[in-house]
Structure 1
């Protein structure tokens, strides 16, 4: 897994101590009022936003990948078509020259449904018959009666199937909503059954999947802010919605040493037209500070003495003086500073090698 940028650790104390020695390069020449000569190198206090982040590669995908297995053994006579969106009443694939039809509902099709059957699967079936326009005279309830059988026959005729009035096990697949076919696991003429997937489907909601190291587990928290640069160069904002198992991510490079994170784009932003095989850039934001005063890390001086702390060498004309500051977030080589004597635009010394 390729990483393009490292994680910027906010080790303020370590960074400041490291530049403390460099501060000696500012020169001495102190006077009784605490002033020193102007340092040879200077920088400006700026006001900006600081963002602590990590950027990794990602792939455009669709949410909630899951496998669809055939409830009964058979031969694939029409394979699933990768990339297609399948809606209620359409075939996912064909088995033994019969369409396996997608219907909507949360309860799986686990048995043959015929006159005399009762249950939530029957209720789902009747709701779908009504939605597809075959529910004339049908009272929607959990009972499979003669009216249900009549509606099923009308539906079967529209599919060019023998109108038996029964829905066989394996004839339909219930899913909560329309689905995207992301992979055809079984090809034409393959033998399928309950043991192996015939196809892999997903929600039609676009997501971006990325891999993080186990040490970055804090970034996988639901709601973590993300900025995604899609393969086309378009930048979208999003949030982490969860993690997925390596075997469900569709990423052959996923391993036990990484965590696969699923990111949803804000506002249901579209990723249609993006190359699913190309790489996206995913920037995880772990912490941010808006509209704060910042200086390069090299400008911060570790103060000696019993009080310790950190300071900046404030330049005033040809002389300078040390002022105590409080430090905050460190990111991209800059550090947040605050103090009663600080404001945007002031000139401060910076360590030289």
Structure 2
């Protein structure tokens, strides 16, 4: 009768064994032996990955128009700088979590007004401006000063297509609209990401426990350098993303029936790595330090009233069955423990 042992990475099928018996037990010696060793046991999964930037997301034009200056790929754009130009007018990057959902003018109130005023102050146009959620005469004056600096008509109003709010500076990872393209709310003009480099890797839905933020990862970069990192975000099928400090989603795409994981390297990505080449990403799901292990096939299921599992310990020309507790499994080995078990013991296994 075969018995399934559930441990660590999955179910291990063991052959039926005898009850715990005294030395010899009336049986011959096993056909082969293995040594009980003390080591670190690690359960892991290795998949291919690629170098990228965190939190890819598309930027669409809030209003229809013609691209007169296209986005510059690989450029890092900061507060107050233009992402691209539409109808010969710059579309400016401003910082804040609230998207540009309306034209702002005198008399308006809201968190979008508050973040606009913070940007005007930070960019040096906030003289006499009290930063609050009210769009008043001082706000209008500050906006006019900002518009004049951009060679725009100083209307004192901020249109939906004048600016794009993002959490911070962005890296332009792709220019999705070229010069003279017609764009609007239904089309991405560019795709941006955080300037923070990451490694992206695709996992199956069954590997969801490995996607938890903070999961430790070992990455072998295209150059062969091995570095450590941790999971900091995911991009799920359909473009709904989640991440630590970034809006993730859309542009990077996940595996159709899986999860794309973003891994941040502890010391950043070393210079000179080929972004087009494949990296190897090793996820550690479980580990044990300094435990006794044997080959999985050494463990036998004990029959009888007490059941459990044991190892056939070989001592010279005799053998005896030792009852053990089992733990995690990895790479064909299993963690074992027991009062009668010692490092260096020889235990029976099936013939190779």
TM-score (norm 1): 0.82
Is the 1:314–1:323 Cα contact (8 Å) retained in structure 2? yes
Structure 2 residue 228 is the aligned partner of structure 1 residue 236: yes
Structure 2 residue 319 is the aligned partner of structure 1 residue 327: no
Instruction: Return closer, same or farther for 1:68/1:251 CA change in 2, 3 Å cut-off.
Output: closer
Is the 1:10–1:331 Cα contact (8 Å) retained in structure 2? no
Which residue of structure 2 lines up, in the alignment, with residue 290 of structure 1?
Answer: 289
1:1-12 aligned at under 5 Å gives the runs 9-12=9-12
Structure 2 residue 268 is the aligned partner of structure 1 residue 277: no
Is the 2:61–2:185 Cα contact (8 Å) retained in structure 1? yes
Among candidates 71, 74, 81, match of residue 83 of structure 1: 74
1:177-192 aligned at under 5 Å gives the runs 177-192=168-183
Instruction: Return closer, same or farther for 1:305/1:240 CA change in 2, 3 Å cut-off.
Output: farther
1:47-196 aligned at under 5 Å gives the runs 47-196=38-187
Task: Report the Cα offset of residue 250 of structure 1.
Answer: 3.9
Does the residue aligned with 1:348 lie in a helix, a strand or coil?
Answer: strand
Unaligned runs of 5+ in 2: 1-7, 240-248
Which residue of structure 1 lines up, in the alignment, with residue 202 of structure 2?
Answer: 211
Distance 1:173 1:272 in 2: 31
Instruction: Return closer, same or farther for 1:131/1:32 CA change in 2, 3 Å cut-off.
Output: closer
Among candidates 28, 33, 45, match of residue 36 of structure 2: 45
Structure 2 residue 339 is the aligned partner of structure 1 residue 347: no
Distance 2:208 2:123 in 1: 46
How many residues align? The count is 332
Deviations 1:275-316 (A, max 9, x none): 333222222333322221001123223344454433222232
Instruction: Return closer, same or farther for 1:79/1:42 CA change in 2, 3 Å cut-off.
Output: same
Is the 1:35–1:321 Cα contact (8 Å) retained in structure 2? no
Instruction: Return closer, same or farther for 1:291/1:166 CA change in 2, 3 Å cut-off.
Output: same
Distance 1:210 1:229 in 2: 12
More helix by share: 1
Deviations 1:204-243 (A, max 9, x none): 3333332222333343444444333333333213135344
Distance 1:57 1:161 in 2: 48
Task: Report the Cα offset of residue 73 of structure 1.
Answer: 1.1
My pick for the range that moved more, 341-350 or 201-210, is 201-210
Is the 2:63–2:160 Cα contact (8 Å) retained in structure 1? yes
Instruction: Return closer, same or farther for 1:275/1:73 CA change in 2, 3 Å cut-off.
Output: same
Instruction: Return closer, same or farther for 1:33/1:114 CA change in 2, 3 Å cut-off.
Output: closer
Unaligned runs of 5+ in 1: 1-7, 24-29
Task: Report the Cα offset of residue 100 of structure 1.
Answer: 0.4
Task: Report the Cα offset of residue 334 of structure 1.
Answer: 0.6
Is the 1:240–1:261 Cα contact (8 Å) retained in structure 2? no
TM-score (norm 2): 0.83
